[in-house]
Structure 1
Amino acid sequence: MTDVALKLTAYFAERERAGSGFLADELFDLFAQRRVATSVMLRGISGFGHQRIIRTDESLTLSEDPAVAVAAVDTPQTIRALAGEVAAMTTSGLITVERARLLDGDVPAVHLPDGDDALKLTIYVGRKRRAKGVPAYRAVCALLRRHGFDGASVFLGVDGTAHGERRRARFVGRNADVPLMIIAVGGIAQVRRTVAELDGLLDRPLMTVERAQLCKNGGRLLRRPPTLPASDDQGRRLWQKLMVFTSEADRHDGVPIHRALVRRLWETGAASGATVLRGVWGFQGDREPHGDKVFQFGRQVPVMTVIIDTPSRVAASFDIVDALTAGRGLVTCEMVPALLAIDGDSRHGTTELADYPY
């Protein structure tokens, strides 16, 4: 299948509950029941949300309930139905719905948008699957680098679905099919060449393609986030997302960039929230793919900081991002057509998609 799809992403605290169980477990039970094409849960290492509490793995107490990001991709009909159910199950968190193209077993027929924007290619593979004698995620990163992608980062999932089947990490077991998420940024021509080879490299590959704008590369400013109105012609709110890719080793005034960034965004109030995810492998620019073995996080692994907010707040946040990533890092910006923020009985936004030519 190669078709227009929707991606639902939920950000919430890992111990958030839904009824008698944890929200994350309930969501993946739901995704399995609906046979969602692909989904994954990633644990965060730092961040804050509307309650303005910074949670970080630097503190034992504040790392006990880290932020998690849960992403699910399927047909528009499936995701629209799920969005309402996920919103009803959530008592505190952030839910976004974005447009994407889902590539599932019909890669040669892929239709990609015209234009000179960058594309974000996200590839889902089993964490212990192999390709050409090496771990599949390393083979994929090598292919992406060979085709000149600006960067790629690998993130370890702890739960998810693949082709509708639930794949949950267990303490005892191979966990071969528990999903990894590989996020890569490149041009349209690079994506066209790469997806065709991925079809031969991976068994039944699952991939999504999304439009993005490359704002910074190697710390060099290319463009600021595009200026968007507050809403579309029908009054539906528009949102933007910054994704800041750095390394655990990258520093600003002696502090890892991702930690300095979260602290500065929190102190200034420039952003309503931010979530930091740590990867296990990846590359930027001409550097060889690098990182640590799965489950052995180290200083050289990639990290990604996600900021989602109104266009005006994203503009203010980008000033801070730009200052802290001078000389290093890759930054992208995307339009988010639907966002719902939930805090108990208070609900701000909607999961209904805005329509704006972007």
Structure 2
Amino acid sequence: MRYIDFRSDTVTQPTDAMRQAMANAEVGDDVFGDDPSINRLEESSAERYGFEACLFVPSGTQANLLAIMAHCQRGDEYICGQDAHNYRFEGGGAAVLGSVQPQPLANNPDGSIDLDLIKANIKPDDSHFARTRLLSLENTIGGKVLPMDYLAKAQAFAFNQRLKLHLDGARVMNAAVKLGVNPADIMQHFDSVSVCLSKGLSAPVGSILLGDEATIGRARRLRKMVGGGMRQAGCLAAAGQLALDTMVERLAEDHDNAAYLAKRLNEVDGVECDESLVQTNMVFAKFANDYDVLALGQRLKDKGVVIYKGNPLRLVTHKDVSRADVDTFIEALKQSI
């Protein structure tokens, strides 16, 4: 059975062109710097997005970890949102592996963090406290796009507070498409940026980390330390290259399908969805508090639809979910609820 999978855009399958590129990729030992496909991806990405250097890594989690550890030393601190992926969903890696303390703060409804709140939580220069070194933002966050004027203010704030500024840009391409800007226009505000190639961009594996030469040099050494040094991984980089070259603009289709999904969810009795909150490819549906979403998930799976169980229920559109698939899901939901 073919399943319609709304759990995440991480489930996307590589395109036929990616599979062909992977089969034909030039490869070498990347730890020795000899893989031409990886070198091409790193050099072209740095040039395209306005950075001195780039590093290809196995995952977005590792890209964020390397960025935090490259910017901070043991006993330092990074500030992030309470909802930040690198705080909630990455196994506490910065604290466990880097001895870097997270200081999570409340995210505003639009995903931003109040700059005055950040300022109030920067630690004094005192031996009692961890040293605040880094501010980490996420864009998109929960499907929401951070406004461009906020990014400019955050950049100026970080500079004035002598903080480095990192962007968890796992879905930064979704943000750029939504805003109608070049991704580099978003990235220019940051000292480092991680970009996931295996979500909506549909590559099978990998992320890139962008920054200046010194930061990426430290990150490369740290990548080896945490076991991320790959050998003949050019086949993966070849797919990642196509992801950046050919798959960004089509994200608009995912956004349109998400808006359509939100509209259709409000046709289902017992389901509430605030259509105004749908900005990119994530939709959140709310069920009655006593509703058994676990049982619903099994009934939907029996009908060929897979969801990530929760209330509110997060539904993610991507390359492998069509407009017709949305209609199929709505009918299955009406029959299962």
Q: TM-score, normalised by structure 2?
A: 0.30
Which structure's residues are more often strand, by fraction?
A: 1
Bigger Rg, structure 1 or 2: 2
Q: Which has the higher contact order (CA 8 A, sep 6+)?
A: 2
Q: TM-score, normalised by structure 1?
A: 0.29
